Chain A
Amino acid sequence: MKKIIILIICLFLLTGCYDYQELNDINIIDGISIDYKDDEYIVTLEMIKSSKDESGNSITTNTITEKDKILANAFNKVINNSSKKAYFKHVDLLLLSKSVAKKGIDDIVDYMIRDVSMSSTFFTVITDNPEDIFNIKIENDSPSKLVVDTITANVNPNSIDNIDIIASNIVNRRIDIALPYIEKVEENIKVEKIAYFKDSKMIDTYDNNIYNLIMLKSNTIDFSNENNVINIYKSEIKYEISKNKIKININGFGKVKKVNKDLNLEEKDSYELVEKAINKKIKEEVEDFLKTTLDNDSDLLGLKDKYYKKYGKEKNYLPYEVDVKITLNRNGAIYGAIHD
């Protein structure tokens, strides 16, 4: 009994409170940006704070920046510069500059997944100049939150890769990563492109829409062709892998949002015309996307991985064929065509 009491006393006196941190003694970090200029990493932390005023609670942000040739040192410096203990468990956004992405993000990913105090559920985003994004003036919210909201507005948030998946894809080397590419437009954010990578290095950017369709990232995508606007609300992708070819079948359902003036949707053939036109357009776009990325040796769909899993062999180049079949909704009564 004495031993147990001594053990309990030791437990309480020696082990307790080791990670104690009072809520008011921490700086909550909402976003991190990493830039690379003149052979130095520039790390900026965006701290979010809520304060009481006459109109209620208001959210304010401020940033601190430090630079060093070694990423970990830059982080250490910026953490030490923070007035209170920097708290990384609520980081929503990791903003990487184009320059650092082109240099390679493997050391950044390595640092992020190794640091136990870091959250692992943030979004990683590429931009031209991270400083511009953190300088956006936004009332009662933080720029990081604005970026996250804009990205997740049209994309299923669960489909966005977190740092663990990015790390695993970089290490795996058979599936390449693509990250959202954001641009600042006045005091707002625009997400129209993705930045695609070969291993850990960014190659270039490409249109967001077609990537979202083939990666099934979004539940609703608009496609336009000759004044016809089709909204695809459900899609699936199937791969038929044979020794010499990979066939990519994209099937889905769409609804007509807007059609050409010459078309009358009351006529049965009109739907088929629109369907044919839009399927052709999507097929061309997908083929172009695949050609562009695969020519740059960036395999976003993981075609090589799929082939390897089926045949146990690696193959550098695989011919592919794309088949698109989007079926338009014909249900319900449409009184007259929906024109401009």
Chain B
Amino acid sequence: MLYERLKKDFNNNNDLKHKSINNVHVVYLESICSSDAINEYILQNLTIGKEYYFLKNIVSGPNVIYVSDYNSIKDYIMGGFALVYNDEDILVCECKANLFRSVSTPTSEPSVNGPKDSFNENIQMNLGLIRRRIRTEKLVTEEFSIGRKTKTQVSLLYVSDIAKKKHVKEVKSRLKKIDIDGLIDIESLHSYIGNKNSTLPTLMKTERPDKVCTSLLEGKIVLIADNSPYALIMPAFFADFINPQGDQYVKAININFLKILRFLCLIITITLPALYVAVMDYNQESIPLNLILSLQSARSGVPFPSAFEAIFMIILCSILRESDIRFPSNYGSSISILGALILGEAAVAANITSPILIIVISVTFISGLIFNSGDLIDGLRMYRFFLLFMAIIFGLYGLVLGLIMILIHALSLETFGEPYFYPIAPFDKTYLFKTILKNNKDNKRSKLLSNNEYKVKP
């Protein structure tokens, strides 16, 4: 009777299987259940005896639950459980098939130093990777189900004696407000709980369990979702996106040079094309005579204005980069060869562009690629175009005006009620030495993220 009702509700789906042995019925979804597990936990036991009144004694799986509500029966079946019932009892037994890949190395955040494991699509495995590192009962995981149709399991993680209650409350309230059909990947949450008005990211996405654990121990809050190989860390400040996790494992005295270099790259990648256009079209007095002469001779055959030339080259490079990402790598290196040939040789030979602009655009793109946050790269691209247009119209004055506008915008941003440009504005020495620079002392937490300030009591 129950099976008939389920079959009807599941629209006679072929993968809904039903077996009946000795008046005990077993119903499960073949596509997400492991037939080995069903056989081992349920079917083998059923074939031994004749009559069974206590199902609990037969079903031997590790996760067996009595259910009485019809809707939850359906949820369990869709979650990879097998329904076992007779005239007396109804219970479900977890028989999930292993549809997930094993733990692999990080692909989008590679690092020379530190652990080499990364999250995969299995939320339990991801939780396991975090719990293996933080072995305390204070690590709280709260579960949410998001998506009317997908019912995706989302876990909210924080360390209860470190994280601030107001941050946890804020994240929970934002999660509860989400009412969508489906959450396919955790990145979709960006538009629901992050800042919508800025191109800069206010949530940090990572596939590294070590990064998640470092953030949890600083008082941040982490979201992980089933079927998503990424975790979201919040609140995330601008300074968090500049430096990779690998810095944690290198001596402070050696890494600070690189940290400063990365900030230099940040400035180069957004300002260099604009600076080129401003200098070529407006402020020729700002560069030495010898350089201006070589620039003039390099550009002598190019028929286009340098503004057009710069826009053309940036768009061309963006197209190349995009096609390089989308193009399957096993088709060979044709894109790279095409790019190198078109940009490096043919464009200069055909007087479409000048060699100096090739250098400018290359340095711009290479500087932009040192950041491994795709969201940050996308945000910076917008700023690069904005500054370029300001420089095309107003020259160096426009570039400075644009930079001031960007600064005003970025400084006014907030992430979960906290200032986005923390620890620079407002200034905080403790967090500054955890992000922008590094020192060997790491005995304190930032006051903004945790009330439990001292890691080691002084």
Chain A contacts to B: CB under 8 angstroms: 12, 15-17, 19-24, 26, 28, 30, 48-52, 57, 59, 87, 89-90, 92, 119
Contact = CB atoms under 8 A, between A and B. Distances in A.
B293 interface: yes
Q: Dominant SS at the A interface?
A: mixed
B280 A51 contact: no
26 contacts: A15-B394, A16-B394, A20-B281, A20-B395, A21-B282, A22-B280, A22-B306, A23-B292, A23-B296, A23-B299, A24-B296, A24-B300, A24-B302, A28-B289, A28-B292, A49-B296, A50-B294, A50-B296, A50-B297, A51-B297, A51-B300, A57-B293, A59-B293, A87-B284, A90-B284, A92-B289
A130 B20 CA distance: 113
Contact of A23 (B280, B289, B392): B280
Interface residues of B, number: 21
Contacts of A19: 282, 395
B194 to A, nearest CB: 24
A49 B293 contact: yes
Interface in B269-291: 280-282, 284-285, 289
Nearest to A28: B292
B305 A22 contact: yes
B295 interface: yes
Contact of A21 (B281, B297, B394): B281
A52 B284 contact: no
B393 interface: yes
Nearest to B305: A22
Nearest to B303: A24
A206 to B, nearest CB: 32
A292 B281 CA distance: 51
Contacts of A119: 285
Given A24-B299, A50-B297, A17 B280 contact: no
8 nearest A-B pairs in the assembled complex, by CB-CB distance: A89-B285, A16-B393, A50-B293, A50-B297, A90-B289, A23-B280, A52-B297, A57-B297
Interface in B46-85: none
Contacts of B299: 23-24
Nearest to B389: A12
A13 to B, nearest CB: 10
Nearest to B298: A52
A15 to B, nearest CB: 8
Contacts of B392: 16-17
A12 B299 CA distance: 27
Nearest to A53: B297
Contacts of B395: 19-20
Q: Which of A20, A26, A30, A92 has the largest number of chain B CB atoms within 10 A?
A: A20
Interface in B236-284: 280-282, 284
B282 to A, nearest CB: 6
B308 to A, nearest CB: 11
Nearest to B293: A50
Nearest to A52: B297
A120 to B, nearest CB: 11
Contacts of A30: 289
A87 B286 CA distance: 13
A12 B393 contact: yes
Contacts of B294: 50, 57
Nearest to A59: B293
A52 B300 contact: yes
A24 B306 CA distance: 10
A23 B293 contact: no
Q: Which of B282, B285, B293, B305 has the largest number of chain A CB atoms within 10 A?
A: B293
Contacts of A92: 289
A51 B280 CA distance: 17
Interface string B392-408: 11110000000000000
A20 B306 CA distance: 11
Nearest to B300: A24
Contacts of B302: 24
B289 to A, nearest CB: 5
A22 B295 CA distance: 12
A20 B289 CA distance: 19
B26 to A, nearest CB: 64
A20 B282 contact: yes
